Amino acid sequence: MKQSSINKYSLAIAVLTLASFSSMLPAGAEDSVTVNISLKDHRFQPAELHAPANKPIMIIVKNLDPAPAEFESNMLRVEKVVTGGGTITLRIRPLEPGRYRFFDDFHQETQGYLVVQ
Ligand SMILES: [Cu+2]
C-alpha cells in the first residue's frame, strides 16, 4: 500500500518532468538563429554580427589562427576557449535589441559586436 503510493508519486514526477522538457524544446531548437564568425590574424571576421531580437542565438566560432583564443563577453555572459584551428558553438539566450561587445580574452584588442535588432 505504501509502496504503490510512492510509485504513483514518482510516476507523476516523471510525467511532469517530461512535460516540462518537451515544452522547452520548440523554443530552443526550432526558433534559434545561427550566426558564424571566424578568427584570423587576431581579427574577428566579420567584426559585426547581426541577429534578430528575442530569439535564442547560436554563435559558431571558427578559429583559423594556430593560437588558442577565448571568446568572451560580459554582456552576453559567455566565456569559452577555442583551440587553434578549432570550432566552438555558443548558445546565447534571447536578447533585447542592442549592441553587445565581445572580445578574445587572450588578445583583448581583438573585439567585435553582436548587433541585435
Ligand atoms: Cu576569460
In this structure, are 70 and 46 located in the same domain?
Answer: yes
Q: Is residue 28 scored above 50 in pLDDT? A: no
Structure confidence by residue, pLDDT tens digits, 96-105: 999 999 999 9
In this structure, are 15 and 59 located in the same domain?
Answer: no
Separation of alpha carbons 82 and 104, rounded Å: 10
In this structure, are 18 and 40 located in the same domain?
Answer: no
- Number of structural domains (the chain) is 2
DSSP label at 52? -
Q: Indicate the pTM of the whole model.
A: 0.74
* 71 CA → ligand 1 middle, Å: 8
In this structure, are 23 and 38 located in the same domain?
Answer: no
In this structure, are 17 and 41 located in the same domain?
Answer: no
Give the domain range for residue 103.
33-116
* 78 CA → ligand 1 middle, Å: 9
In this structure, are 26 and 75 located in the same domain?
Answer: no
In this structure, are 67 and 102 located in the same domain?
Answer: yes
Report the mean per-residue pLDDT for the chain: 86
Q: What is the mean pLDDT of residues 100-116?
A: 97
Structure confidence by residue, pLDDT tens digits, 36-82: 999 999 999 999 999 999 999 999 999 999 999 999 999 999 999 99
**Which residues have C-beta within 8 Å of that of residue 98, sequence separation ≥ 6?**
75, 115, 116
In this structure, are 67 and 103 located in the same domain?
Answer: yes
If phi > 0 it is left, if psi is from -120 to 50 it is alpha, else beta; for residue 42 that is left
Output the nine-digit C-alpha cell for 14.
516523471
* 99 CA → ligand 1 middle, Å: 20
In this structure, are 21 and 66 located in the same domain?
Answer: no
C-alpha R_g of the chain: 20
* 29 CA → ligand 1 middle, Å: 28
In this structure, are 2 and 49 located in the same domain?
Answer: no
